[in-house]
Structure 1
C-alpha cells in the first residue's frame, strides 16, 4: 500500500473512531443529551462499535491501525515497515483531532447548555455530576467535559495508572498480533476487525475502571489538544499533568506485546 493510502486511511478511520467513541461519551455525559447517564456499559460497547466501524472503513486503504500502539506492535513484530510508521502516526493524530472536532460540532448545543448551566458550573468537584472517567484539575465541571475528549484516573497514582494502561494495551496488541493476519500487509480482515472490537469491549469492562482505558495514545492526545483549543465556556483545564500517562503507557504496552509475540509465537 502507498504512503498516501496509509495516510488517508488512518485519517478517515481514526476520525470515525473518535467521532463515535467520543460521541458516546458526550451522549452519556452532557445534560441535554437524551442518553445522559446511560452508564458504563453504553460507553464500553460504544467504543467497541467505534473501533469496528473505523477499522472496517479504513482497512482496505491502510490496514486499519488507528492507534500508534498497534502500529508500534506491528512494526516490532515485522508486519509493518518502520519507514511507514511516521505516516501512520501522522494520519492517526490528524484523524483523532478531526474526530474530536466533529463530536463538538455534533453536540454544540449540548456543550453550550451544559457549560452555561449555573447548577452544573456551581457544583463542587465531588458532586453528583461527577465526571464519567474520573476527576480532573480545573473548574468544578471540567471533569465531565474533559472526559468526553480524553481519559482520566479515578485515583491519581502515576505508577498504578501507567501500569493499568500498559497491561490493557499489551492485551489489545497481543490479541491483534496473534490473529496471524498481519504479515501480508493487508490489515486485519473482517474477522480480525470484529475480534479486535470485542477485545476493546472486554478491556473496557474489565480494565477500564481505574483510568478510563485509553489503550491508544492519540485517542487521548488528539482530543485533549482539541479540548484545549475549542472555545468552550467554563471548560476548565485540559489536565496536561496527566497527559503523558495515556501516551507512554500504551506505547510501553505495545512494545511489551511485540516483544512477547516475537519470543513466544514467531
Structure 2
C-alpha cells in the first residue's frame, strides 16, 4: 500500500468519525483539538480531563485490536526480517503502533538515517502539521465564514489530514494526535517491544508526538481566533449604505 492510499484511508476514516460523533461530543478525536478549543474556542474546560482520558483509552483499545486482525502477518514480517521485539531493529515492526522518526518505512533505522532528521526538526514537523489542522478545523466550523458548509466540514477536515499525511508522514509518520500515538505506544510496550517505543528516539517520543502537536494545536487555534475569525466577521458584515 502506497503513502497516498494510507493517507486517504485515514482521511476518510476521520471524516466518517466526525459525521458519527459531531452531534454527540463535537467530534473531539484528538487531545490537541480539545486543549486548543478549551483555550481559544469556548469549549468547557471542566470537560477536558474526561475527554483526554477517553481519547487515550480509545486509542489503546484500537491498538489492542490490531494483533487480533493482523497478528499472523506481523509475525511473518518479523520472522522474514529477523526482528526480535524489543531489540534494535524492531522499530520496523513497532511502527504499526506508535510513531518513530525518521519514518522507518518498514525498515530498521541505521545511525546515518536517524541523524538525517534531528529532534528539533521532527518537533517542528508535528507542530506545523497540527497547527495547519487546527486552522482548517476552526475555519471550516466557523459560522461567520461565508464558505462554511456543515455538509462539507467533515470531508474538508478529512482531506486536510490526507494532505498532511501525504506531505509529512515521510518524516515523522504524521501523527498530529497525542492520543493516537501514546495509546498504541503504551500497548506496543506491553506487547513485547518493552522499553524500545520510549527509548528509541530518546525524549522524542513525548517532545515530538505529545508536546509538538499540543503546541501546534494552540498556535493554529490562536491564529484562527486572532487573524481569521475577525476577517470572517468583517467579510460577512453588511455593507454600509
**TM-score bin (small chain):** 0.7 to 0.9
Aligned equivalent of 2:225:
262
Q: How does 1:146-225 map to 2 (within 5 A)?
A: 146-154=94-102, 155-181=116-142, 189-225=150-186
Equivalent residue in structure 2 for 1:227, among 188, 197, 200:
188
Closer/same/farther in 2, CA of residues 212 and 99 from structure 1, 3 Å limit: same
Matched, 1:83 2:42: no
Contact residue 56 and residue 190 of structure 1 kept, 8 A: no
Q: CA RMSD in A?
A: 2.5
Could you tell me which residue of structure 1 aligns to residue 81 of structure 2?
Answer: 120
Distance 1:193 1:259, change over 3 A: same
Deviation at 1:209? 2.1
Tell me which of the two structures has the higher relative contact order, counting C-alpha pairs closer than 8 angstroms and 6 or more residues apart: 2
- Shift, 1:251, TM fit: 0.3
The gaps in structure 2 that reach 5 residues or longer are 103-115, 231-241
Q: Distance in 2 between matches of 1:64 and 1:173?
A: 13
Question: For the Cα contact (< 8 Å) 1:59–1:189, is it kept in 2?
Answer: no
Higher helix share: 2
Paired residue for 1:40? 3
Calculate the TM-score normalised by the size of structure 1.
Answer: 0.71
How many angstroms does 1:156 deviate by?
Answer: 4.0
The alpha carbon displacement at 1:211 in A equals 0.9
Q: 2:25 aligns with which of 62, 83, 90?
A: 62
Query: Secondary structure in 1 aligned to 2:81?
Result: helix
Call closer, same or farther: CA 1:190–1:73 in 2, change over 3 Å. farther
Question: How many equivalent residue pairs?
Answer: 208
**TM-score, normalised to structure 2's length?**
0.78
Distance verdict in 2 for CA 1:114–1:247, change over 3 Å: same
C-alpha distance in structure 2 between counterparts of 1:104 and 1:237, whole Å: 18
Query: Would you say the 8 A contact 1:169–1:254 is kept in 2?
Result: yes
Between 240-249 and 53-62, report the one with greater CA deviation.
53-62
